[in-house]
């Protein structure tokens, strides 16, 4: 695993831990969504390693009462993008996909 992936995983694990705490605000949800929007396109080659963490974060945000309807819509779009990146990575390396 490269240094970039190690750094991204550490950041995602920190975000995931923060989301499990109480006190998550609407602004925090926006910040995490913006982070995911930036990260997902960069991760296609490392998707099989990183996407599960992103999916956990998305699930935590979807279940958080601070998340607005507009943010839920953004999260659904991000969830689909993450699934797509995971499937592309699986196809590229010949691994069975998550949907198989």
Per-residue model confidence as pLDDT tens digits over 56-99: 999 999 999 999 999 999 999 999 988 888 888 778 777 665 45
SS3 54: helix
Per-residue model confidence as pLDDT tens digits over 19-60: 887 788 899 999 999 988 888 777 766 777 788 888 999 999
Distance CA 86, CA 67 (A): 25
The pair of three-digit structure tokens given for residue 9, joined into one six-digit string: 């995983």
Residue ranges of the domains in the chain?
Answer: 24-93
Per-residue model confidence as pLDDT tens digits over 1-22: 678 778 888 888 888 888 887 7
CB 66 within 8 A of CB 29: yes
CB 27 within 8 A of CB 66: no
Measured in whole angstroms, the distance separating CA 42 from the mean position of its chain's CA atoms is 12
pTM for the predicted model, two decimal places: 0.66
């Amino acid at each position: 695993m490269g240094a970039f992936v190690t750094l991204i995983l550490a950041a995602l694990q920190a975000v995931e831990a923060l989301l499990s705490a109480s006190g998550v605000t609407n602004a925090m949800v926006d910040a995490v969504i913006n982070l995911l929007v930036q990260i997902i396109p960069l991760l296609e080659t490392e998707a099989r390693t990183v996407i599960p963490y992103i999916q956990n974060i998305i699930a935590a945000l979807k279940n958080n009462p601070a998340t607005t309807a507009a943010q839920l819509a953004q999260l659904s779009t991000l969830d689909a993008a993450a699934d797509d990146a995971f499937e592309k990575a699986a196809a590229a390396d010949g691994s069975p996909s998550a949907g198989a």
